[in-house]
Copies of this chain bind each other. A is one copy, B any other.
């Protein structure tokens, strides 16, 4: 396997740059399969021109809206948008490497990602405002404008609640992760992963968002999360740590 793959990621000021939960899923997927690749970091305004240049599809047709991650495979001149599509591409292209989405579970994986994202509303109330300061100046205006629109044009700095409202909202973050914990625990009391004993793409989805929390939330918030649900999230992040390497 020669390194013909480029992962396009979103730039930032943090060590290693990578912060986005969505591009993190693609990186976990690449490293889980052990596929050589390199990473190119872009500012937000560079995403659409790059996608159009390499033929990467928008991830939303009604606008159209171009997002990262995008994986570009120079050996076949193929561009793949969206982390779950990247996972499927890797499974199809490298069928002899460990499967991300086991045979027969593609539809269940897509439903999982939709169900999972529905648990993240409160989570984003904390994580989105905390992301603005780690972006490069070149991306901050775009990020502020698009993310403030998600909160009725409230200033991002005013979005995280305080006092009693903070206690309520933080409990909603816990409830959201509790729903995911509830699903996983249905495999059995000592089930570690979404499909039981082996990691699959659904675990990577969960870890991608947790990695974002670890990076941007206040230290005591992250330490709180690590104590939740019998340490499930602490264990997951420890088990996936070896797949976090940012290859440049």
Given the complex of chains A and B, what is the CA–CA distance between A58 and B104 in angstroms? 33
Contact with B along A101-145 (1 / 0, CB 8 A): 011111111111011101000000000000000000000000000
- A7-52 interface with B by 8 A CB criterion: none
Say yes or no: B195 contacts A104, CB within 8 Å: yes
Copies in the complex: 2
Q: Considering the chains assembled together, what is the distance between the CA atoms of A195 and B182 in angstroms?
A: 22
Interface flag for A71 (CB, 8 Å) = no
A228 at the interface (CB under 8 A from B): no
Selected contact of A194 from candidates B107, B183, B195, CB within 8 Å = B107
Main SS of chain A's interface residues? helix
Considering the chains assembled together, what is the distance between the CA atoms of A184 and B106 in angstroms?
8
Q: Is A80 an interface residue when CB atoms closer than 8 A count as contact?
A: no
**Do A108 and B195 contact each other (CB < 8 Å), given the known contacts A115-B114, A115-B118?**
yes
Q: Give the chain B neighbours of A106 by CB distance below 8 A.
A: 186-187
Q: How far is the CA of A191 from the CA of B195 in the complex (A)?
A: 22
Point out the residues of chain B lying under 8 angstroms from A112, CB to CB.
Answer: 108, 111-112, 115
- The answer to the question of A202 belonging to the interface, with a C-beta cut-off of 8 Å to chain B, is yes
* C-alpha gap A154/B179 in the complex (Å): 31
Residue A196 lies at the interface, judged by CB distance under 8 Å to chain B = yes
Contact A110 B183 (CB under 8 A): yes
B179 adjacent to A114 (CB under 8 Å) = yes
Of residues 145 to 195 in A, which have CB atoms within 8 Å of B's CB atoms? 179, 182-187, 191, 194-195
Residues of A within 8 A of B (CB): 88, 102-112, 114-116, 118, 179, 182-187, 191, 194-196, 202
A-B CB contact pairs (8 Å), 13 listed = A104-B187, A105-B105, A105-B108, A106-B187, A107-B187, A108-B109, A108-B112, A110-B186, A111-B111, A111-B183, A112-B112, A112-B115, A118-B118
> 7 new A-B pairs (CB below 8 Å) besides A106-B186, A110-B186?
A105-B195, A107-B194, A107-B195, A108-B202, A111-B111, A111-B112, A111-B194
